[in-house]
């Protein structure tokens, strides 16, 4: 079973992917995480993508597609994958379509207000990468490992709007692409929803596959 999680930055794709990994044994693949790993290690790829990722610009298709296609060739992906943050352009969707059967695309539909609120309060653990809603939970250490929390450069207000605009410009044609294949399921999220509320809707759909 291969699933795509689609939605603007901050819509909770990462949390949904975590729940789905736990309940259905799928492998979570986030292109953002793959890039951040390479940047942390300062590999040639990491150096190439750093200026994009740190300012919330998208990495060019040819680089992103190569990274993702390499990753899904790894043996662990045979059990099925959850793609988080890919595809973000129609080109990426078409490249993926040639090599992997997608069973379902879950699109989490959020308002701009939700994105601004959630991303602005989002902090990540330097040690284990877990994301926390630190500003609301009033914590300053990772709840999982005690690591230091930091705000990603691209989560600063000036970059959030740019990512959101980019997303809106591209996402319509991606959704159309999967709607035509009858693979699309849209979840309408609300500001007051917790990740568990949203996941209840998502789990239902996946369990029926
Ligand atoms: P978010 O979901 O908050 O936007 P991600 O962790 O998914 O963050 O991605 C972080 C950054 O990695 C993006 O802003 C972009 O620079 C790069 N990136 C991730 N996925 C893609 C993609 N599919 N296409 C182009 N760039 C990507
Ligand atoms: Zn941690």
CA atoms in the 13 A half-sphere facing the CB of 37? 8
Write down the pLDDT at residue 134: 63
Q: Which residues pair with 82 in a beta bridge?
A: 3, 28
Ligand 2 centroid to 201 CA: how many Å? 28
Nearest to 36 by CA among 152, 137, 207: 152
Quick one: which atom of ligand 1 is closest to the CA of 57?
16
Q: Kindly name the residue from 36, 71, 118, 163 that is annotated as catalytic.
A: 163
Q: Is residue 135 annotated as part of the catalytic site, yes or no?
A: no
- Return the HEC string of 48-90: HHHHHHHCCCCCCHHHHHHHHHHHHCCHHHHHCEEEECCCCCH
Q: Please check whether residue 145 is in contact with residue 128, taking contact to mean a CB–CB distance below 8 angstroms.
A: yes
- Which ligand does the CA of 14 lie closest to? 1
Residues 29-61: tens digit of each pLDDT:
999 999 999 999 999 999 999 999 988 889 999
Tell me the pLDDT tens digit for each residue of 151-164. 888 888 778 888 88
Share of the chain above pLDDT 90, in %: 67
Measured distance CA(189)–CA(101) in Å, rounded: 27
Pocket test for ligand 1, best of 39, 57, 85 (most atoms within 8 A of CB): 85
Q: Is residue 47 flagged as an active site residue?
A: no
Show me where the domains of the chain are located.
3-199
Confidence check: pLDDT of 135 > 70:
no
From the candidates 152, 162, 183, 203, give the one annotated as an active-site residue.
152
Q: Is 71 a catalytic residue?
A: no
The 10 Å Cβ neighbour count of residue 2 is 19
Q: How far is the CA of 128 from the centre of ligand 2 (A)?
A: 4
Residue nearest ligand 1's atom 5 by CA: 32
Measuring from each residue's beta carbon to the nearest atom of ligand 1, which residues come in under 6 Å?
A: 9, 30-32, 35, 52-53, 56-59, 64, 85-86, 88, 92, 154, 163
Q: Selecting from 1.10.3720.10, 3.40.50.1110, 3.20.20.70, 3.40.50.300, what CATH number does the domain 3-199 have?
A: 3.40.50.300
The DSSP H or E segment spanning 160 is helix 157-180
pLDDT digits (tens, 9 = 90+) for 155-207: 887 788 888 898 999 999 999 999 999 999 999 988 888 888 999 999 999 99
The residue assigned the tokens 């699309």 is 184
Per-residue burial over 179-192, b = 16 or more CB atoms within 10 Å of its CB, e = otherwise: eeeebbbebebeee
Buried b (16+ CB within 10 A) or exposed e, 28-65: bbbbbebbbebbeeeeebbeebbebbeebebbebeebb
Record the tokens describing residue 178, joined without a space.
Answer: 């999967």
pTM as predicted: 0.87
| 4-26 confidence digits (pLDDT tens) | 999 998 888 888 999 999 999 99
Tell me whether residue 126 is one of the annotated catalytic residues.
no
User: What pLDDT sits at residue 113?
Assistant: 86
**Which tokens in the block code for residue 100?**
């992997």
Q: For the chain, how many residues are written?
A: 209
């Amino acid at each position: 079973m291969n699933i795509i999680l689609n939605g603007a930055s901050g819509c909770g794709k990462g949390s949904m992917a975590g729940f789905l990994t736990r309940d259905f044994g799928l492998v979570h693949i986030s292109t953002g995480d793959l890039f951040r790993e390479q940047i942390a290690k300062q590999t040639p790829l990491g150096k190439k993508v750093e200026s994009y990722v740190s300012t919330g610009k998208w990495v060019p298709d040819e680089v992103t597609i190569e990274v993702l296609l390499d990753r899904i060739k790894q043996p662990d992906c045979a059990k099925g994958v959850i793609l988080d943050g890919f595809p973000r352009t129609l080109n990426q969707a078409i490249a993926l379509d040639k090599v992997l059967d997608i069973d379902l695309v879950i699109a989490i539909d959020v308002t701009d207000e939700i994105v601004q609120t959630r991303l602005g309060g989002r902090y990540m653990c330097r040690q284990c990468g877990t994301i926390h809603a630190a500003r609301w939970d009033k914590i300053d250490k990772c709840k999982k490992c005690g690591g230091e929390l930091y705000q990603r450069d691209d989560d600063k207000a000036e970059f959030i709007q740019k990512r959101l605009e980019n997303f809106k410009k591209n996402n319509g044609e991606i959704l159309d692409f999967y709607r035509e294949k009858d693979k699309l399921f849209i979840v309408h999220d609300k500001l007051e929803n917790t990740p568990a509320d949203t996941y209840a809707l998502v789990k239902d759909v996946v369990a029926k596959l």
